[in-house]
Amino acid sequence: MTIDQPPTIATALVVPRPMSVEPAGASFEITAKSAIVTSTADGETARIAGYLAALLRRSTGFALPVVTDDADPTGNIVVGLGGATTGNEGYELNVSADSVTLTAARGAGLFNGVQTLRQLLPGRIESATVQPAPWTVPGCLIKDRPRFAWRGAMLDVARRFFGVEAVKRYIDDLVPYKINVLHLHLTDDQGWRIAIDKWPRLTEVGGTSQVGGGEGGFYTKADYTEIVTYAADRYVTIIPEIDLPGHTTAALSSYAELNDGGVAATPYTGSNVGFSSLSVSLDATWAFVSDVVAEVAALTPGPYLHVGGDEVEKLTLAEYANFVERVERIVNAAGKQVIGWAEIGKAQISATTVIQYWNTGADDEVVREAVARGARVLMSPASKVYLDMKYDAGTELGQAWAGVIEVRDAWDWDPSTLVQGVTAGQIIGVEAPIWTETLDTMEAVETMAFPRLPAIAEVAWSATQGRDWSDFRTRLGAQATRWAAMGLRYYRSPQVDWLD
């Protein structure tokens, strides 16, 4: 059918690459008379139709009413649930001269199809102001579904605080590329960013620091819920991370009783790692962990709570493993599944726990052993997907401890062959973290994330069969007009011919 075909206009535009694209002769034009047609006036389909309408109205200036289905499809965009073959997140998009029809078995699939439709339109569709017609969609039949269910990004709001509006903007940046998980790294040595009612000093004290000595900040419970809701409306699941037992200076400086000597730690604004840990023997530690887990779990509709677990140099292996196993029981009792960085594989973690691979090479053994015991893996190899790594030696911001990562490096790897003994069936997906020790503005975050994040989204979404770098770089280059219209800041990688 598809992937072997020469690039068409449609295939040349969409990132991540759909499963199959059949070009069709004539194209469709959205006009001032077009409507969005749904079968019901309320519920999930109508909400997604409303999202599509709002998106298209901004730049087309057309009324684009959402109407129910007795209307004639001619000239319209028809959005509907149905067709059991698309899976949880797949969709079919049929563009003919007459109409556009988007169908999916589930809302998530419709939402993904909307993102594809968006990318089939000229980049100026992303503008917040009215732009000139025509609004042409190339004729095609697209059938699509993801390779992996977890296609994530992580934002480190602990090293630097980013407020609700910035996080919403990042969600909007991710959504066109079918990213469906945003992991928030909420706590670290340098800051505690989520209000906990039973432990108010976590934010009163721990919320006021950040790397480099800025003022920090934190989310109230209402703020966090606002992010969770905004994300959920866009089919993005928020995964909160409370990093335990290390990376805890912000907590240790907020409460003297969490420290073995009974003296509060000094707030930390540097960038070292590994030096802090909660005490495994203090009762206060367990009261603290239980309360924090209970409150964060109660605020979080998603199934997972991330417990960190990385880079703990202060505990013995036995102390560390016991700690992780006890935390796992607490999280499970609060109704959530655990996810943690690769190190948690040193403990006897349960089969429902997800282990996040990060330190390329160094994590191989522990992750291999954990999957042999039944664990599932989220792939975040630092040498491929750490968005805080420099693009090349000349990149001003970022770090290079895991190497430099150009666009092609971020794109050119397969999660199922990276670690010997870890195969596709054990991998739940791919996640691209961005750590913010060196990044203090959203502009810096976007410039490090783009264009590598769409490359990683393609690793997570698209089949390996038919991958082709020159095809990808053409599709990526076509995003430039889109990003210009969105005001999204990105790195003009010399590996890509930017089409603008």
Q: Which of 22, 226, 311, 319 is catalytic?
A: 311
397 binds ligand TNX (CB under 6 A): no
DSSP H stretches of helix in 72-191: 107-120, 164-174
Three-state DSSP class for 432? Answer: strand
Least distance (Å) from ligand TNX to the CB of residue 477?
A: 28
Q: Which is nearer to ligand TNX, 126 or 243 (CB)?
A: 243
b/e 247-281 (16+ beta carbons within 10 angstroms → b)? bbbbbbbbbeebbeeeebbebbbeeeeebbbbbbe
Contact 99, 27 (CB under 8 A): no
386 binds ligand TNX (CB under 6 A): yes
The amino acid that residue 50 corresponds to is: G
Q: How many residues bind ligand TNX (CB under 6 A)?
A: 10
Least distance (Å) from ligand TNX to the CB of residue 146?
A: 25
383 binds ligand TNX (CB under 6 A): no
Strands 91-95 and 100-104: antiparallel
- C-alpha–C-alpha distance, residues 377 and 397, integer Å: 30
Please report, for residues 189, 229, 406, the alpha-carbon distance to residue 392 in angstroms, rounded to integers and kept in the order given: 28, 37, 7
Q: Which is nearer to ligand TNX, 144 or 388 (CB)?
A: 388
Residues 356-375 that bind ligand TNX (CB under 6 A): 358
The residue ranges of DSSP E strands in 346-457, in sequence order, are 354-357, 376-379, 427-434
Residue 377 backbone phi and psi in degrees, to 5: -120, 140
Least distance (Å) from ligand TNX to the CB of residue 356?
A: 8
Binding mask 308-347 for ligand TNX (x = CB under 6 A): --xx-----------------------------x------
Q: Which is nearer to ligand TNX, 148 or 341 (CB)?
A: 341
431 assigned to active site: no
Q: Which is nearer to ligand TNX, 52 or 155 (CB)?
A: 155
Q: Which is nearer to ligand TNX, 95 or 382 (CB)?
A: 382
And the tokens for 324? 């992780």
Q: Which is nearer to ligand TNX, 10 or 339 (CB)?
A: 339
Binding mask 114-133 for ligand TNX (x = CB under 6 A): --------------------
388 binds ligand TNX (CB under 6 A): yes
Query: DSSP letters of 338-369?
Result: EEEEGGGGGS---TT-EEEE-STTTTHHHHHH
Q: Which is nearer to ligand TNX, 13 or 354 (CB)?
A: 354
The amino acid that residue 72 corresponds to is: D
218 binds ligand TNX (CB under 6 A): no
Residues 223-242 that bind ligand TNX (CB under 6 A): none
273 binds ligand TNX (CB under 6 A): yes
76 binds ligand TNX (CB under 6 A): no
And the tokens for 32? 């001032």
435 binds ligand TNX (CB under 6 A): yes
DSSP H stretches of helix in 143-256: 164-174, 201-204, 221-233, 249-254
Least distance (Å) from ligand TNX to the CB of residue 241?
A: 10
442 binds ligand TNX (CB under 6 A): no
Three-state DSSP class for 386? Answer: coil
CB atoms within 10 A of CB 110: 28
The residues binding ligand TNX (CB under 6 A) are 273, 310-311, 341, 358, 386, 388, 399, 435, 437
Residues serving a catalytic function are 311
